[in-house]
């Protein structure tokens, strides 16, 4: 059995991690587009459909529900990608230790930016910041749906 060169294996795994990072960015773009379209559809329905009162709520609520569902799916995908990326970068950092002459750049980067600081929080994480966007959108969907229901109940809409 032929022995695999550690550096070649390292380069292959690094490429896979980069592609997974790109997939994470594409996922964010796709779900942001979906949610923007939902908000646009609701805005169109409220402004131009001629509906008011409960018929307006009954048309808009399913869109809000789809938006919330899309955000939960988005969060789930992001969490799975993050777990896989963490595993891949752990493997890369371990491989750096075995490659002769390696500058161990991923280990240095991890120590400087990602390792937990004294209070147990991470110093930096794209994933934590990216996860705020679907959570914010879930909050907005719930807020808008609630405001619409309150407005109809009070005769404002």
Q: Across 94-98, 106-110, 127-131, 138-142, which has the greatest mean pLDDT?
A: 138-142
The SS3 of residue 126 is: helix
CA dihedral (135, 136, 141, 147) positive or negative: positive
pLDDT for 1 beyond 70: no
Distance (Å, whole) CA 109 – CA 153 = 55
Any domain includes 25: yes
Any domain includes 118: yes
Report pLDDT for 20: 94
Q: What is the pLDDT of residues 15-70, one digit of tens each?
A: 999 999 999 999 999 999 999 999 999 999 999 999 999 999 999 999 999 999 99
Any domain includes 12: yes
Distance (Å, whole) CA 95 – CA 67 = 42
Q: Is 116 left (phi over 0), alpha (psi -120 to 50) or beta?
A: beta
Whether residue 24 contacts residue 74, with contact meaning beta carbons closer than 8 Å, is answered with: no
Q: pLDDT band at 81, cuts 50/70/90?
A: very high
Report pLDDT for 123: 63
Report pLDDT for 114: 77
Any domain includes 129: yes
The number of folded domains in the chain is 1
Any domain includes 135: yes
The SS3 of residue 115 is: coil
Distance (Å, whole) CA 117 – CA 110 = 12
Instruction: State what percent of residues in the chain have pLDDT above 70.
Output: 91
Any domain includes 1: no
pLDDT for 118 beyond 80: no
Taking all residues of the chain, what is their mean pLDDT, rounded to a whole number?
Answer: 91
pLDDT for 71 beyond 80: yes
Any domain includes 51: yes
Report pLDDT for 126: 67
Q: Which domain holds residue 16?
A: 6-153
Give counts: helices (H), strands (E), the chain: 4, 0
Q: pLDDT band at 3, cuts 50/70/90?
A: confident
Distance (Å, whole) CA 13 – CA 84 = 12
Any domain includes 15: yes
Q: Which tops the pLDDT comparison, 139 or 114?
A: 139
Q: pLDDT band at 134, cuts 50/70/90?
A: very high
Distance (Å, whole) CA 69 – CA 7 = 43
């Amino acid at each position: 059995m032929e022995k695999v060169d550690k550096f070649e294996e390292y380069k292959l795994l690094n490429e896979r991690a980069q592609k997974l990072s790109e997939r994470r960015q594409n996922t964010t773009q796709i779900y942001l587009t979906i949610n923007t379209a939902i908000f646009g559809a609701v805005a169109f329905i409220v402004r131009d459909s001629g509906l008011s009162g409960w018929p307006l709520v009954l048309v808009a609520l399913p869109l809000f529900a789809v938006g919330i569902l899309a955000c939960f799916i988005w969060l789930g995908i992001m969490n799975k990608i993050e777990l896989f990326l963490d595993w891949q970068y752990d493997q890369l950092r371990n491989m750096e230790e075995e490659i002769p002459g390696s500058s161990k750049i991923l280990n240095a980067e991890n120590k400087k930016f990602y390792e937990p600081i004294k209070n147990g929080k991470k110093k930096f994480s794209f994933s934590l910041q990216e996860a705020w966007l679907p959570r914010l959108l879930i909050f907005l969907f719930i807020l808008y749906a609630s405001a619409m229901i309150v407005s109809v109940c009070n005769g404002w809409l």
